[in-house]
Copies of this chain bind each other. A is one copy, B any other.
Amino acid sequence: MAEGPIRLGMVGGGADAFIGGVHRIAARLDGHYTLVAGALSSTPEKARASAEALVLPRGYDSFTDMAEAEAARDDGIEAVAIVTPNHVHADAAIAFLERGIHVICDKPLTATMEDAHRLADAARASKALFMLTHNYTGYPMIRQARQMIADGDLGTVRLVNVEYAQDWMTGAAEGKQAEWRIDPARSGAGGAIGDIGTHAYNLACFVSGLKLDKLAADLDVFGAGRTLDENAHVLLRWQGGAKGMLWCSQVAPGNENALRLRVYGDKGGLDWSQEDPNRLWFTPFGAPKQMLTRNGAGATEANTAASRIPGGHPEGYLEAFANLYSEAARAIRAHRHGEAIPGDLLVPTLEDGMDGMRFIDACVRSSAQDSDWVSP
């Protein structure tokens, strides 16, 4: 096991970018990576200033420069984290995949379906790995929920309801975070549905193991002058007969990141909330509700494997995110040694990203057709 950390680069994530800092902490937390290069902004001066501020060994003006230069070095980066606005994901990812550099990409996959297919082609053509940071799948209790359902603890799943509510777009959207998210050219066709709805959808699929058959969506814009949805109500029909519902909103005052998943089968139910992530509520039908905890009594192997510290000392968002990076590291190291990629990896893949894109697309199509049922 004793071997050096993975050399990591980053595209995007300069000063003021929330998610870039998250990726850096996630990469660092378990000690599997060392960040050695970056093209941290699309504006060269900002890119350089940010690289300097982070004491990065090698700062680049653009991801193209970085991909070329790093690929040419013996000690070049082995993997790159892409944390730009959505419309840059495809070109950036392709630049590295074509050069055999592994890609860890933020979600959603891309801004457009066309970009998604280009990226998918490049990923399939490359020997390098592609991983997508649907980070909520990294929470230990989510891992346990997935395992319990796979093990049949809920019986046949009948209902999967998921919601993700925020409130920060309730008033005027301001600042860098809001700016690109409300611009279709940079964000893609989905607003809230792309930004957080995809997380909710991904989580529902990840935990339940179900595939979506059809959806009927009602997307809304309330804020003056905006075009992208701020709220979406979606009916879900899962393959095999289960039903569900997805609600996402960025205009629901009193919600910070209220992602909640509920799954009900004929033998039991599960309930999990991201803002209280160390607990999972499990009710075997007819018996008292149980509070399962991270690394606590009743923890499954999947829970414990994703935990660092004993129960009762909360792990949070950054640890869940780091779980994806640590799993990615296992895959990258296997690749480094010419070994097969471990079969038990849970880190989301290109296929999950394509699913997310189809989901956004289907929501937008359905809503445009007055909430007709459409297949993703």
Contacts and interface: CB of A to CB of B under 8 A. Distances in A.
Interface of A: 1-4, 18, 21-22, 24-25, 28-31, 52-55, 154, 158-159, 161, 166-167, 170-171, 216, 218, 220, 222, 231, 233, 235-237, 243-245, 247, 249, 251-258, 262, 264-271, 274-278, 281-293, 296-298, 308-319, 370-371, 373
Contacts of A284: 253
A147 to B, nearest CB: 15
B308 A297 contact: no
Contacts of A24: 31
A175 to B, nearest CB: 11
Contact of A318 (B22, B161, B278, B315): B315
A262 B247 CA distance: 12
Given A166-B312, A310-B18, A249 B53 contact: no
Contacts of A244: 233
4 smallest beta-carbon distances between A and B, as pairs: A256-B312, A254-B283, A257-B312, A314-B316
Contacts of A319: 316, 318
Nearest to A287: B297
Nearest to A267: B253
Contacts of A373: 370-371
B231 A216 contact: no
B249 A159 contact: yes
Contacts of A262: 252
11 contacts: A2-B55, A3-B55, A18-B310, A158-B231, A233-B245, A253-B283, A274-B314, A288-B290, A289-B297, A308-B318, A314-B317
